[in-house]
Structure formats: C-alpha cells, structure tokens
Amino acid sequence: MSSKVAAPGLFDRAIIKRASVDAFRKLDPRQLARNPVIFVTEVVSAVVTLIFLRDVVAQNGAALFTGQIAAWLWFTVVFANFAEAVAEGRGKAQADALRKTRTDTHAKRLIDPDGKSGMRDVIEGVSALDLRIGDIVLVEPGDLIPGDGEVIEGVASVNESAITGESAPVIREAGGDRSAVTGGTTVLSDWIRVKITAAPGSTFIDRMIALVEGAQRQKTPNELALSILLSGLTIIFLIVCVTLWPLAGYSGTALSLSVLIALLVCLIPTTIGGLLSAIGIAGMDRLIRFNVIATSGRAVEAAGDVDTLLLDKTGTITFGNRMADEFIPVGGVSEYALAEAVMLASLADETPEGRSIVALAKSRYALPAPALAADARIEPFSAHTRISGVDLPGRSLRKGAVDAILKQSAGHAGMAEAASAVLDRVAVPEDFTRAVDRISRAGGTPLAVSENGRLLGAVHLKDIIKPDIKARFAALRAMGIKTVMVTGDNPITAAAIAGEAGVDDFIAQATPEDKLAYIRKEQQGGRLIAMCGDGTNDAPALAQADVGVAMQTGTQAAREAGNMVDLDSDPTKLIEIVQIGKQLLMTRGSLTTFSIANDVAKYFAIIPALFIVTYPQLDAINIMKLASPQSAILSAVIFNALIIIALIPLALKGVAYRPIGAAKLLRRNLLIYGLGGVIVPFVGIKAIDVAVSFLHLA
C-alpha cells in the first residue's frame, strides 16, 4: 500500500506563525504588482492613511472615521497576503521535510570504471557534492545512493521511503525500465554500480524542494485569464467611483475621498483577488499529499479536463517483469514433483523470472529451498541456448524456451534428425501441447521443464496486473475518461492483458513513434491527453501529452519528460490527479462567483446609504436600513476584510468534487455560491453595522 505524504493541518501553529510574518513581507509593492486587485487596494490604503494623518494634524473630527477606514483597508491587504502565505507555508513545510532527507553523503567513486589501466575496482571516497555527471559510483548494502543516476551493473534492493513514503523496498537493476535510482535512497542488499546523471543542486529531491516551495510556480492560462477579468472589473469600478465624485457634488451630497476609496475597495473583487494565488498553490499542495509532484500548474489544470489516458503496459499496468503464475505437469508427473524440479533448476537463476519461480514453489507448495551441493554444476542462462538449469548427481534439470528444451530433449535421446523433424508435434506429448497452447492464447510465456531429457511440464509466465487496477479503470470510465494501453507485445498478448486489466482499447506492437502519432491525432481533435509511462521509450509521448505522469520507478529520461512524477508508481493515480484538477477549477470558479455576487450585494448596501438623503427614492432599495452613511461604509469595509479570512480554509481545502454533469454543476454553484454570495453580505454587513452603532465607532 502506498502512503500519502503527511499533510499539515489548515491551522498548523508553525505555518500560521511563518505566514503571519510573510504576510507583512509581501506588502512590498514589487511583489503585490503581480496581483493587480490587491496592488490597487494597497495603493489606496496608503492614500487613506495620508488623509488620516492630515486629519490628525488638523485635529479634524473625521480623523477617527478615516483612521478606522485606513486600518481595515490595510487589514484587507494583509489578510489577502496571509491567505497566500498560508498556502505557501504548507508547501514549505513539505520542503523542510524533504531537506531532512539530504545529508552530506559520502560516495565510493570508481577511479577507472572501464578498467583501461587495470584499476577497475579501485575506489576513492568523496563527498556526494563533488560528484559530476558521468561519474561511476559503487553502492553497497547500507550505503546511501549519493545522487540521481542509472544502474549500469548489478541488482539491488533499494529502500525509497525517504522519497515515496513507502516502506516496501524495490528492485533496481541494470537495463530495462527499472534502472533509475534517486539520491538519498538506501541500498538494502547486494550492490550496484551507478552512473551519475544529475549534478549537485539539480537532483530529483532538489527539484521537488524548489517545486513545493513555489519558487518555480507560474500562473496558468486559466489563471491569467481570470486575472485579466479581475483587472478589468477593477478598472470599471475605478471609473464608477471617479464619476461618483462630480455626480455627488452636482446633487449636493458631500463625499470625502476616503469614503470613495472605501467604496472602491468594497466594489472591486478583492475576495477572489486575495484568494486566487492561494487556490492555485493549494491545488499543487493537494497533489503532493497524494505523492504526486507536479512540475507545472498548467498540468494540474489540464488534468481536470482530460479525455483520454494512455498507459504503457510494462511497469505501469503490470509489474514490469513476467512472473511465474502456474506449474502445469504432464505425462503423469505430480505438481509437487514439477515444482520441486523447477525450483532446483532456478535456485541459481538471479533473473526476475527465476526468482519468481522459486517464490511460487515456496508459497504454493511449501517447498523448502535447499542449498545446492558442492558438486552441483550450474547451467547459466544464455541468449544462445535460451536454457538454464543445474546438474546434480543422477539428475540433469533444465528449463527454458519450449523449442529449445524440446530440441535438447531430442538430442538427449540420441535423435539426429533435423530440428524441424525433432519439433514435430507428433513427438511431443499431447497434454504438453495443450498446456503450451493454453498459455500462449492467454498471452503468457510458456517455459518447458525437463529432467534427464524427459518433459516434466510447463511453467506459465505472465505479466502480473497490479492489484485493484481493473476497478480503478472502471472508476476512470465513470468519470468519462477513455483508457488506452500501449505495448510492444503482439496483438494476442496485448488483447489478453487489456481484457484482464479492463482498459477500453489497446495499441499492440507500438513504437515510440506510434504513441506520439496517436497523441497528436487526438489533440488535433480537440481532446486533452494524459500519458502514464516509465520507460525511456515513453519519454516522447510523456513530453507531448497535456498531462505526462512519469512513474518514480521509471528511467531518468521518463521522469524528466513528464510534467508530473508519481512517487507511488501507480498508473491509476490519475483518478486522484483528475479529481484534484477538477477541484482546482471548481474552487476557483465557485469563489469567483461568490466574490462577484458579494460585490453586487455591497453595491446595494452602500449606494443607498450614501445618497438616501439627497435621493429619498433610494429608500426602496435600502434593504439593510443601516444606521448612517459612515456606519454603512465602515461595516462594508470590515466585512470585506473578514470574508477573506473566512474563506481561506475553503480555498486551501477546495470545493468537493462530484462527478455530475456540467449543467447540473453550474446550477449547483450558482445556487450555493451565487445566491450565497448575495445573501451573506446582507447578513454580515447588517450584523457589523449593529455592532458598530452600538460601540459608536462611526
């Protein structure tokens, strides 16, 4: 089971303390300029502060009212900064936890890895910070892997809990798609030689720290569009407030500059403006809690609208290596005898398939694993013979490809016919033929087993589907996402795996170019594509996809090509990724609706109070019956500041995602956040007005 990254609470004391300080640091106009709404609020707050100081010096009776307006305007700016700082603080807490995994690791660097000078095994102890790209290091049991790299020799069990939070060790070996290792992880057994592929300061952990701290976060197109909308609304209401000045003078209504500024701040969308950055940061933070590192906010948003998911088979849908699933005896041999024979033939076989045969014999038949005697002769696997096994006194045990074992068995019997005649099905036991055909039709790989040239049976090697993956694909289907498996296997094997995994479609015998062409074709049709992969051959497709999710167990090339890295290497994690993407979009849309509805309500609260003396007819829309124009302005400004604080938990937690239709979702949001955004200010401003009047603050 994967373990999620522990998430700090919404009101973690350390985060609140740090955010309180950062909220004031963010008052720097150079930082606030990125947020036009809050930047305008800060500028006008400074203007009202100057008016307050002028009134104090002049001993003007309006100084108390102006001072309160100035204070609450500054609180609005600080609270908006505080919301962003809290969201960033949660990311910084994750970064601090990651930093603890980094130590000044010592590395065993090989002086002459190629052995050209006869010193291949000579090593020197160096700091991990002194390693450079291309260096070869030896990592032995108990050693920390000093940097990101590729295993070029050996196989080892590696503890990656410092990165993934998963306590179960993983196997890393040279070649294939399980050769990438991450600096800071620990070798538990055996040894590996690692070629360093990342310079100090640019390792996977360093990139994770930079990402979760927010240093490289940029606004997404959706967020930029919303910023433009908010800037436009700010300009519109700025024009409205400026034109109110001559209109009020013409009608005989006295409006001070501080009142007009307060009106401006209440009408511009300060609520969503103050929470916009927090919403985006919190979306990426939620991904981190699901052990997914997003290198792009754009990818998080795109995930919310994904139509099709492409998945590499090996290492993504399956575990990556074919494993023994069944022993099929023939010719009257018992299952126990076949299991015992094939286990003996596999004891010295260190390939993943060989280890899986021994594991199956132990678990299913309770066979003890005997040590090979000193006089045992190992027959290692060879690509030429495609056979491996062991010779014991009186016993010659072999396993391997069916045609190779049959050929050897025929030779053992002294037959001299040509290979085609030897492999004639007439000479092969019928039950063995049926077993091999059944395994092949199921998409598996049959291995033949023999003892002294006599066929004992077959071993069914199959791609093992990751647990619960079929139900997870069904959940993706319910979300409207089509799943497509891409594999280099033949169509028969691909169809068998696709049926067992429950994907909607598959592409067999796929090359990297085929994957890339499929993604581009779908994108030209206006669809958003997600790709999950772990191999170097997946890198082009991961880079082209709108959402490229690379498995942490994959190669360095795959992890660099994707815009997300799944630390649990679970291809169905896309369910959570899609939900978080949709939740991010829903949260932003819901709070934008609430903010604009707030502004409408505040407009009807303030304008009647300001002009009711001059225009008594406005009493018809003076629903709140506020105590005085000054009380109306002050109450609206206070509410404007407090509502930002009230909405911070929702911005960080996000609006709950429900898989319902777009029309139903729109009606729901308009009802909850549109109608709610109109009602809440009426209730809140009236309550504050009662308190202000009671305390005689205005």
On whether 349 is known to bind a ligand per the annotation, the reply is yes
Q: Is 255 left (phi over 0), alpha (psi -120 to 50) or beta?
A: beta
Is residue 312 part of the annotated active site? The answer reads yes
On whether 167 is known to bind a ligand per the annotation, the reply is no
Encode burial over 670-688: b for 16+ CB neighbours within 10 A, e otherwise: eeebbebbbebbeebbbeb
On whether 121 is known to bind a ligand per the annotation, the reply is no
Selected catalytic residue, list 312, 568, 570, 689: 312
On whether 382 is known to bind a ligand per the annotation, the reply is yes
- Phi, psi angle pair for 474, to nearest 5°: -65, -35
Task: Give the containing element (helix H, strand E) for 398.
Answer: strand 395-401
On whether 374 is known to bind a ligand per the annotation, the reply is no
CA 306 to chain centre: 14
On whether 385 is known to bind a ligand per the annotation, the reply is yes
On whether 166 is known to bind a ligand per the annotation, the reply is no
On whether 386 is known to bind a ligand per the annotation, the reply is yes
Encode burial over 222-252: b for 16+ CB neighbours within 10 A, e otherwise: bbeebbeebbebbeebeeebeebeeebeeee
On whether 387 is known to bind a ligand per the annotation, the reply is yes
Strand partners, 505: 484
On whether 303 is known to bind a ligand per the annotation, the reply is no
CB 127, CB 106: distance < 8 Å: yes
**Which residue, among 223, 282, 93, 274, has the nearest Cα to 646 in the 3D structure?**
274
CB 109, CB 136: distance < 8 Å: yes
Q: Among positive and negative, which fits the CA dihedral 163, 164, 165, 170?
A: negative
Task: Give the containing element (helix H, strand E) for 127.
Answer: strand 123-127
Helix-then-strand count for the chain, H and E = 24, 20
Residue 301 vs residues 127, 292, 641: alpha-carbon distances, Å: 40, 14, 29
CB 377, CB 396: distance < 8 Å: no
C-alpha 4/C-alpha 603 separation (Å) is 45
On whether 601 is known to bind a ligand per the annotation, the reply is no
Q: For tokens 């898989």, name the residue.
A: 659
On whether 381 is known to bind a ligand per the annotation, the reply is yes
Where is the binding site, in residues? Answer: 349, 353, 381-388, 399, 534, 538
Name the residues annotated as catalytic. Answer: 312
Where is the binding site for ATP, in residues? Answer: 349, 353, 381-388, 399
Where is the binding site for Mg(2+), in residues? Answer: 534, 538
